[in-house]
C-alpha cells in the first residue's frame, strides 16, 4: 500500500507532467484493462469500457453480466479523477504518454483512507492472458472452504460456476450474501476469477486436479495484504443454512419499537400512522455493502410498482461512523442512484458494533449480516427475518429469492 499524501503533494506541486493535447486524447474510448497492484505482487484485474455520452466521458466497470455505470469523471490538467458511484471510493491518476493511466484507487473509510496503486491499459479486452488451453471444466456447484492464514478460522461457501470454452463466470454464496459477479478463465489447469465494484476487489486462483478437486486456492481480498486459502469439491447438493434461521425475534417481543432520524434529521417511528395497518418491510443496510446495493436496487423498483397495495418499506442504515452528517453524506449518492422513494433512517450504530442489535432493534436475537430484511404484518408483528441476500450474480438463487419474496408479501396482504 502507498499512502495518499505523497501522491497529492506531487499533484499539488505540478510534479506530474502537464497535459498535452495528445495526452488528453490518451483517455480514449473503448476497452480498458485495469490492474490493482497489491503489496504481495498479486494483481486484481478487471475490465472497463470508456464512452462519450452527451459530451462527457463515462465508463462501465465490467464483471461477467454486470455493466456498472461510472459517470463522475473529471480531467484536470494531466490528472484523471474517477469517483465510484457507491462505497465512497475513487481513482486519482495521471495520463501517461504511452496511453496508460497510472495512479491510486482510494477507499475513504470512517477514520482513515486506504489506497493501492493501479495501472489501466487501453485497447485490452482480455481479463487474464490465456497461456494454455483449458484442462477441465468447472461448471457446476462446489462445496467450498475458506481458511484464514493462521489456520484458526474457516468458513463455508457454495461456489457456482459456468464455463464456456476457457471463459468462466460465477460467484460464491455465503450465509450472509454473495461475492457478486466473478469473471475469469481456466488457464490450463488453473482457475482465475476476479471482480471489482468499488468495494469488492477480489482475486481467486486455484488448481483443478486430476481428481476434480480445486486445490491450492488463494483468495486475495482488497487493498491490504489480506488473503485466505481455499479448496472446493464438486457437490450438486451443497447448500447453505436457511436464511430465516440465523436471526429471529425474541419470544414475546414480536412487535418492533424504534425511532430514528431520516435523511433530513426528522424522527420517524415504526409506530407512525403512515405504517399502521400496513405490511412493512424493513431492510437493514449500509452504503458500504455491495449486497445491500443489489437488494436496494431490487426493493426500490419493487416499491414503486407495489406501494399502492398497502405496503411500506423502511431502510435502517448502519454506516461505518456514528456521526449523522458523515453517514448522511455517504448515503446520499447511494440512495440517489437507485431513486429510493421509501424512508431511510440513520441508526447511529456501526456494522462492527457488537451491540448493534441491542442498541437499535433489541427485539431481535441478533443482526448476523447485511442486508437483513424483516417482514412485519398488518398487525405490527414480525412475520419473518431474512439474513443476507442472493443478488443477480447468483442466477437461479436470485430468481428464487424474488419468487419467495413476492409469495410472502402476497400472503401477508391477504391476512
Is the peptide bond between 371 and the residue preceding it cis, with omega within 30 degrees of 0?
yes
135-167 pLDDT, tens per residue?
999 999 999 999 998 888 889 999 999 999 999
pLDDT at 19: 40
Instruction: Place 5 in a pLDDT band, splitting at 50, 70 and 90.
Output: very low
By the 8 A CB rule, do 70 and 82 touch?
A: yes
What average pLDDT score do residues 388-400 get? 93
Q: How far apart are CA 185 and CA 133, in angstroms?
A: 10
Higher-pLDDT residue of 18 and 287 is 287
Classify 175 as helix, strand or coil. Answer: coil
Q: Are 115 and 3 in contact (CB under 8 A)?
A: yes
Mean pLDDT of 32-52: 96
Distance CA 54, CA 331 (A): 27
**Please, which residues have CB within 8 angstroms of residue 379's CB and are 6 or more apart in sequence?**
none
**pLDDT score recorded for residue 141:** 97
Q: What is the pLDDT of residues 68-93, one digit of tens each?
A: 999 999 998 889 999 998 888 999 99
The closest of 340, 309, 327, 36 to 196, measured between CA atoms, is: 36
pLDDT single digits (tens) 349-384:
999 999 999 999 999 999 999 999 999 999 999 999
The cell 503489496 sits on which residue?
39
Cβ-count burial of 355 within 10 angstroms (0-12 exposed, 13-18 middle, 19+ buried)? exposed
Q: What is the pLDDT of residues 169-195, one digit of tens each?
A: 999 999 989 999 999 999 999 999 999
From the list 278, 325, 317, 311, the residue with the least C-alpha distance to 296 is 317
pLDDT average, residue stretch 236-240: 95
Q: Is domain 140-234 annotated with CATH 2.20.25.570?
A: no
**pLDDT of 224 strictly over 80:** no
Of the CA atoms within 13 Å of residue 318, those in its CB half-sphere come to: 24
Where residue 94 falls among pLDDT bands split at 50, 70, 90? Answer: very high
What CA–CA distance (Å, rounded) separates 132 from 363?
56
* pLDDT of res. 168: 98
CB atoms within 10 A of CB 413: 15
Selection from 37, 33, 90, 105 nearest residue 62 by Cα: 33
CATH architecture group of domain 259-414: 3-Layer(aba) Sandwich (3.40)
Cell 484485474 belongs to 45
Q: Please tell me the pTM assigned to this model.
A: 0.88
Rounded to an integer, the average pLDDT of 333-337 is 91
pLDDT at 17: 41
Name the phi and psi angles at 403, rounded to 5.
-65, -45
Q: Taking residues 324-328, what's their average pLDDT?
A: 94
Residue with cell 490518451: 26
Average pLDDT, the chain: 91
Mean pLDDT of 287-291: 92
For residues 234-254, give the mean pLDDT: 94
Q: What is the CATH number of domain 4-122?
A: 2.40.128
Intrachain domains 4-122 and 259-414 with the same fold: no
pLDDT score at 153? 82
Domain ranges of the chain: 4-122, 140-234, 259-414
Separation in Å, CA 341 to CA 283, 290, 304, 310, 338 = 14, 20, 8, 15, 9
- 115 neighbors 129 (Cβ within 8 angstroms): no
pLDDT-above-70 percentage for the chain: 94
Q: Extract the C-alpha cell encoding 338.
A: 437507485
User: Taking each helix axis from N to C terminus, what angle separates 324-337 and 290-306, rounded to the nearest 10 degrees?
Assistant: 60
Amino acid at each position: 500500500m502507498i499512502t495518499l499524501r505523497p501522491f497529492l503533494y506531487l499533484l499539488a506541486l505540478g510534479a506530474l507532467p502537464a497535459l498535452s493535447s495528445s495526452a488528453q486524447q490518451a483517455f480514449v474510448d473503448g476497452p480498458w484493462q485495469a490492474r490493482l497492484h497489491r503489496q504481495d505482487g498479486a494483481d486484481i484485474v478487471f475490465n472497463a469500457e470508456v464512452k462519450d455520452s452527451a459530451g462527457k466521458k463515462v465508463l462501465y466497470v465490467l464483471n461477467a453480466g454486470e455493466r456498472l455505470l461510472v459517470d463522475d469523471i473529471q480531467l484536470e490538467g494531466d490528472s484523471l479523477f474517477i469517483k465510484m458511484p457507491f462505497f465512497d471510493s475513487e481513482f486519482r491518476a495521471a495520463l501517461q504518454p504511452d496511453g496508460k493511466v497510472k495512479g491510486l484507487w482510494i477507499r475513504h473509510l470512517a477514520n482513515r483512507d486506504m489506497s493501492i496503486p493501479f495501472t489501466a491499459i487501453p485497447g485490452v479486452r482480455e481479463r487474464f492472458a490465456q497461456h494454455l488451453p483449458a484442462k477441465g471444466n468447472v461448471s457446476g456447484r462446489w462445496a467450498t472452504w475458506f481458511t484464514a492464514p493462521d489456520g484458526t478460522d474457516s468458513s463455508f461457501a457454495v461456489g457456482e460456476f459456468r464455463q464456456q470454452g476457457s471463459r468462466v463466470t460465477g460467484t460464491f454464496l455465503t450465509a450472509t450474501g454473495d461475492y457478486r459477479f466473478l469473471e475469469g478463465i481456466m488457464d490450463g489447469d488453473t482457475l482465475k476469477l476476479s471482480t471489482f465494484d468499488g468495494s469488492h476487489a477480489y482475486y481467486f486462483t486455484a488448481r483443478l486436479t486430476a481428481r476434480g478437486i480445486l486445490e491450492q486456492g488463494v483468495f486475495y481480498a482488497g487493498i491490504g495484504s489480506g488473503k485466505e486459502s481455499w479448496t472446493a469439491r464438486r457437490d450438486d447438493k451443497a447448500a447453505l443454512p436457511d436464511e430465516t434461521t440465523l436471526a429471529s425475534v425474541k419470544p414475546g417481543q414480536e412487535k418492533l419499537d424504534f425511532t430514528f432520524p431520516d435523511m433530513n434529521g426528522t424522527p420517524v417511528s415504526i409506530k407512525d400512522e403512515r405504517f399502521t395497518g400496513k405490511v412493512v418491510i424493513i431492510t437493514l443496510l449500509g452504503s458500504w455493502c455491495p449486497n445491500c446495493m443489489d437488494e436496494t436496487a431490487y426493493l426500490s423498483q419493487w416499491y414503486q410498482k407495489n406501494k399502492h397495495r398497502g405496503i411500506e418499506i423502511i431502510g435502517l442504515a448502519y454506516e461505518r461512523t456514528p456521526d449523522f452528517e458523515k453517514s448522511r453524506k455517504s448515503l446520499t449518492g447511494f440512495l440517489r442512484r437507485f431513486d429510493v422513494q421509501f424512508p431511510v433512517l440513520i441508526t447511529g450504530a456501526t456494522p462492527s458494533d457488537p451491540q448493534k442489535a441491542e442498541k437499535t432493534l433489541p427485539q431481535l436475537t441478533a443482526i448476523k449480516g447485511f442486508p437483513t430484511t424483516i417482514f412485519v404484518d398488518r398487525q405490527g408483528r414480525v412475520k419473518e427475518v431474512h439474513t443476507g441476500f442472493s443478488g443477480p450474480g447468483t442466477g437461479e438463487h436470485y430468481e428464487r429469492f424474488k419468487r419467495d419474496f413476492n409469495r410472502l408479501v402476497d400472503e401477508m396482504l391477504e391476512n
